[in-house]
Amino acid sequence: MTSPASTAPRSITVPSSTQPHTSADDGPALTVGVLAETAAGERRVALDPSAADRLTKAGRVVLVESGAGTDATFEDAAYTAAGAILTPRTQIIAKSTIIPVMRFPDAELLKALRSGQVLIGLIDPMNNLTAIADLATRGVTVVALELLPRTLSRAQSMDALSSQSSAAGYRAGIVAAAAYARYLPMMITAAGTATPAKAIVIGTGVAGLQAIGTLKRLGAVVTGYDVRAASRGEVESLGAKFLTSSVAQGAGAGGYARAMTDAEKKTQQGELARALVDFDIIITTAKVPGRTPPELVSAATLKSLRAGSVCVDLGSSDKGGNVSGSVDGKTTVTAEGVTVIGAGELASGLPASASQMYARNVLAVIASLAPKNVIMVDQTDEVTQNVVVSFDGAITNASVRNALKLDPLPGAAAPAKVTAS
């Protein structure tokens, strides 16, 4: 793998000579390929018909695999009406310059990607380092949306972590309510009165605040809990109570929680164990990409909950979850009658809205990297420096280089913080 010679803006020439030209000095039109996602249970699609329409109106060519949007309610006809061309998968992979995806590609797509192509997605780079190093060596430009500097205002339209967390948080409230065998609101009827459900949301970032909003609208009595004291105001502004953590100074860089020490973890588990017995619905959101999520609801705490209680674990992944024993994508009921829902990819449960928002994020990234028909990678730009993981045969993102134990590039910035911890 070579290092790029300089940090000046560099460009990729669009490889296909068969594409139409949009203007004499603008090069052949960029081709954007929309593939069906192949991960089990994934219902989203990386580009919806309205985004395809915007691209084709801007002179881009959009190729779509038949059925790519069906699970997200977008039929082939909606794409063709938007000017996209239905094309076999292998042809899309061969012809496209830009391939947006929801998640890390399957082995077949990984193998087929070639020099000059740009892969854009929530590709969990820290968990896929070897494959990404291989893509870099093969000249594929990899854009990892997780690495976006989210607090930069001009990056917010590209913030796919937030758009998908919003969808997941909203959905978590709905999923919890559906799994709960009682009313959420207080109900006064001729046949008696039902007391409102008590819900707690642990981790009140983007997903947690959406979950609180949904549960409040459904009539539950809601509490928020976070190790970042700064989230109190946001929780209270939604009409929920805030449970102050004994690790209230748990904020780290960039608005993320920092890693807890072993002593803090113990203290936190103890205080949560005491508090949680009082709740009917628990939603946890402390997801840490590429790392083991903190266990916030222990096995002992689960045992102490009332039968019929529901835990929805958005932190669930193949590395474990925030709730002891939660299995991503599965619902289990404990011997004590507590329902535990492993829901690490819950945005996929709201596929149309989540895909629409994600596609807007993708459009913003394409507009930034390819304002005309050439991919421009400006390594002096803070957004590009972070989201572009590989370019021109090298790993260019400082954090990913660091994780791969590669020397920093000459003149490169220190590794940016990329994960909550």
Residue labelled with tokens 């896929």? 128
Smaller CB separation from ligand NAD, 156 or 304? 156
Smaller CB separation from ligand NAD, 89 or 150? 150
Please give the residue whose beta carbon sits closest to ligand NAD in the complex. Answer: 205
In whole angstroms, how close is the CB of 244 to ligand NAD at the nearest point?
A: 12
Smaller CB separation from ligand NAD, 10 or 232? 232
Provide the terminal-to-terminal Cα distance of the chain, rounded to the nearest Å: 30
Amino acid letter, 129: L
Alpha helices in 105-205 (DSSP H): 107-112, 129-137, 160-179
Can you tell me the distance from the alpha carbon of 101 to that of 38, in angstroms, rounded to the nearest whole number? 10
In whole angstroms, how close is the CB of 46 to ligand NAD at the nearest point?
A: 20
In whole angstroms, how close is the CB of 313 to ligand NAD at the nearest point?
A: 12
Q: Is 320 in a helix, a strand, or coil? A: strand
In whole angstroms, how close is the CB of 296 to ligand NAD at the nearest point?
A: 6
- Is 256 annotated as catalytic? yes
Residue among 256, 268, 326, 360 flagged as catalytic:
256
In whole angstroms, how close is the CB of 383 to ligand NAD at the nearest point?
A: 13
Contact 14, 373 (CB under 8 A): yes
How many CA atoms, within 13 angstroms, populate the side-chain half-sphere of residue 316?
24
Tokens of 108: 């077949």
Can you tell me the distance from the alpha carbon of 111 to that of 97, in angstroms, rounded to the nearest whole number? 16
Smaller CB separation from ligand NAD, 78 or 260? 260
Can you tell me the distance from the alpha carbon of 360 to that of 362, in angstroms, rounded to the nearest whole number? 5
Applying CB under 6 A, the residues found at the interface with ligand NAD are 150-151, 156, 159, 161-162, 165, 202-208, 226-228, 231, 255-257, 260, 285-287, 294, 296, 420
CB atoms within 10 A of CB 145: 23
CA angle 357, 360, 364 (to 5 degrees): 145
Smaller CB separation from ligand NAD, 64 or 418? 418
Residue among 48, 71, 159, 392 flagged as catalytic:
159
Smaller CB separation from ligand NAD, 168 or 375? 168
Q: Is the dihedral of CA 66, 69, 75, 77 positive or negative?
A: negative
Smaller CB separation from ligand NAD, 286 or 383? 286
- Is 150 annotated as catalytic? yes
Alpha helices in 305-350 (DSSP H): none
In whole angstroms, how close is the CB of 257 to ligand NAD at the nearest point?
A: 3
Residue among 19, 96, 117, 162 flagged as catalytic:
162
Tokens of 76: 């082939």
What burial class does residue 321 get, using C-beta atoms within 10 Å of its C-beta: 0-12 exposed, 13-18 middle, 19+ buried?
Answer: buried
Residue among 150, 171, 360, 401 flagged as catalytic:
150
CA 223 from centre of chain: 24
- Is 268 annotated as catalytic? no
In whole angstroms, how close is the CB of 184 to ligand NAD at the nearest point?
A: 23
Can you tell me the distance from the alpha carbon of 267 to that of 400, in angstroms, rounded to the nearest whole number? 33
Catalytic residues: 150, 156, 159, 162, 256
